[in-house]
Amino acid sequence: MRLLPRLIFTLALFLVTAHLSADQRQLVILHTNDFHGHIAQEAEYAGAARITSLVKETRAKYPGVLVLDAGDRISGTPVSTMFKGVPIFEVLNEVGYDAAALGNHEFDHGYKQMLKFKEIADYPLLSANAFAPDGSLLADAPAMIKTVNGIKVGIIGLITETTPFIIIPAGNEGLSFSPAAEMLQAMVTALRPQVDLLLVLAHVGHEEEQALARDIAGIDIIIGGHSHTKVLPPKKVGNTYVAQAGYYGAYVGKIVLTVDTETDSMTAFEGTLIPAADLPAPDKKVARLVNRWEKKVARKVDFTIASADRDYSKSEMQPFLQKIMADATGADFGYYNMGGIRDTLRQGPVTARHIWNIEPFSNQLMIVTAKGSVIKYLLQSEETQAERIASLDDEKIYRVATSDFIAAQAQKSVGDAVQVENQSMLLRDLLIDYIKVHGLEID
């Protein structure tokens, strides 16, 4: 009879443990950001096929997996530029994403092309603060609620409110982007009572993401983008973890957490970044799809134009490009914004593809003419131009060789204070032609 109390105790302990297990639920989040068209494996970038393999392996291992992207999926490779982002969304459908944020580069071909991306994507594109000219929401939804392994997860999408100043005006007329913090506060207030876990896909930049975490209570995790920041491990700000996984698929973020669904609280959290080199072998189906698209552009970009005896950083490419622009036009000087230089140049053979990766936007060469005081105002936000700004005479008229993107932003900012002349030449072609003849040295 002494066995009976022991059996009762064992049964009671089992029931308590079972109850706790039912409430304590595990979730794994894989996340990317700022992919910028790098569907093919190249250098330190994983490519879509290897990321797909990681997603499949993770889903086979864990009962609850969420795969998310924080925006800027296009613009950065020839296959993206030539086909206006379509191949990127087709390929990334195979990865297994559950949701993605809109990024500013999704508007590089005008917002009507972005609407095509919504049609192609078989997962929702989220953004709570991006609006069409008629005031309607541009994204599929501002947010979503998805139940994963018994956890009700709220996911809110945000885009930087500076988007109008960093996208081409043509094709994006009449768009509006409300302040991210104000919209997020309203969304958190609405969603928090409905979910066990609240996430934000924030394409606003790491510093701004930390500010949102500090100022707005009730967010469990912010998965960020836009600033291309390698955040390892995720940074805890107040009660919110802020994560970001670099850029171009060089890393995939992995978060493993536990949620108590009884109290709607996160009881365990661990986050890391997986380098591309540590990802599994490419998924064969996705690799074939990538290869089919890449073959469509190979003839136009995969030929050698020079050889580099060392690596060239983005900061070294800026004056190189600016000097070539000025010499080609007879301008007083050239200006190409650092944000428009999208890749480094590596030691070894230099192909046209490398130059496409550095300047993927099909920017036109332009001349902007204005007083020195106006030029100073237009260049003030770029740290690399401080020496140039100091040398300008306020009253002197200068001719500056630049891109059509910068010229359009200048006209938008100061109107008739600048005059603009189109040189009817692609900056990328100018750069390729120069390197073919002169290599990587500037006289």
Residue 21's CB is within 10 A of a number of other CB atoms, namely 9
Within the chain, all domains assigned CATH 3.90.780.10 are found at 303-438
Please tell me whether residue 14 adopts helix, strand or coil conformation: helix
Rg (CA), the chain: 25
pLDDT tens for each residue of 94-107: 999 999 999 999 99
Per-residue exposure over 250-263, b if at least 16 CB sit within 10 Å of its own CB, e if not: bbbbbbebbbbbee
The CA-atom distances, in angstroms, between 336 and each of 64, 379, 420 are: 46, 10, 15
pLDDT tens for each residue of 106-162: 999 999 999 999 999 999 999 999 999 999 999 999 999 999 999 999 999 999 999
Q: What does the mean pLDDT of the chain come to?
A: 94
Query: In whole angstroms, what is the distance from residue 414 CA to residue 433 CA?
Result: 33
Q: Which burial class, exposed, middle or buried, applies to 208 when counting CB atoms under 10 A from its CB (0-12, 13-18, 19+)?
A: buried
- Tell me the percentage of the chain whose pLDDT exceeds 70: 95
Kind of pairing, strands 197-203 and 143-148?
unpaired
Instruction: Indicate the DSSP class of residue 228.
Output: -
Kind of pairing, strands 99-101 and 125-126?
parallel
Question: What CATH topology corresponds to 303-438?
Answer: 5'-nucleotidase;  domain 2 (3.90.780)
Check whether the bond before 233 is cis (ω within 30° of 0).
Answer: yes
Query: In whole angstroms, what is the distance from residue 69 CA to residue 72 CA?
Result: 9
pLDDT tens for each residue of 333-387: 999 999 999 999 999 999 999 999 999 999 999 999 999 999 999 999 899 999 9
Kind of pairing, strands 240-243 and 221-224?
parallel
pLDDT tens for each residue of 194-225: 999 999 999 999 999 999 999 999 999 999 99
- Rounded to the nearest angstrom, the gap between the alpha carbon of residue 151 and the centroid of all alpha carbons in its chain is 27
The pTM of the full predicted model, rounded to 2 decimals, is 0.91
The position carrying tokens 């096929």 is 49
Closest CA to 156 of 217, 103, 222: 222
* pLDDT value, residue 21: 53
Query: In whole angstroms, what is the distance from residue 388 CA to residue 18 CA?
Result: 69
SS (H, E, C) 161-187: CCHHHCCCCCCCCCCEECCHHHHHHHH
Please tell me whether residue 414 adopts helix, strand or coil conformation: helix
Question: What CATH topology corresponds to 22-292?
Answer: Purple Acid Phosphatase; chain A, domain 2 (3.60.21)
Sign of CA dihedral 244, 246, 249, 254: negative
Assign 443 a pLDDT band (cuts: 50, 70, 90): low
Query: In whole angstroms, what is the distance from residue 141 CA to residue 181 CA?
Result: 18
Question: In what helix (H) or strand (E) does residue 351 lie, and over which residues does it extend?
Answer: strand 348-351
Query: In whole angstroms, what is the distance from residue 183 CA to residue 176 CA?
Result: 13
Locate 336 and state its tokens.
């190409």
pLDDT tens for each residue of 240-292: 999 999 999 999 999 999 999 999 889 999 999 999 999 999 999 999 999 99
pLDDT tens for each residue of 324-346: 999 999 999 999 999 999 999 99
Locate 19 and state its tokens.
């109850």
Determine contact, residues 69/125, Cβ cutoff 8 Å: no
Per-residue exposure over 72-106, b if at least 16 CB sit within 10 Å of its own CB, e if not: bbbbbbbbbbbbbbbbbbbbbbbbbbbbbbbbbbb
Query: In whole angstroms, what is the distance from residue 228 CA to residue 364 CA?
Result: 25
Provide φ and ψ at 134, rounded to 5°: -85, 5
Query: In whole angstroms, what is the distance from residue 319 CA to residue 342 CA?
Result: 15
* pLDDT value, residue 281: 98
Within the chain, all domains assigned CATH 3.60.21.10 are found at 22-292
**Which residue type is seen at 128?**
A
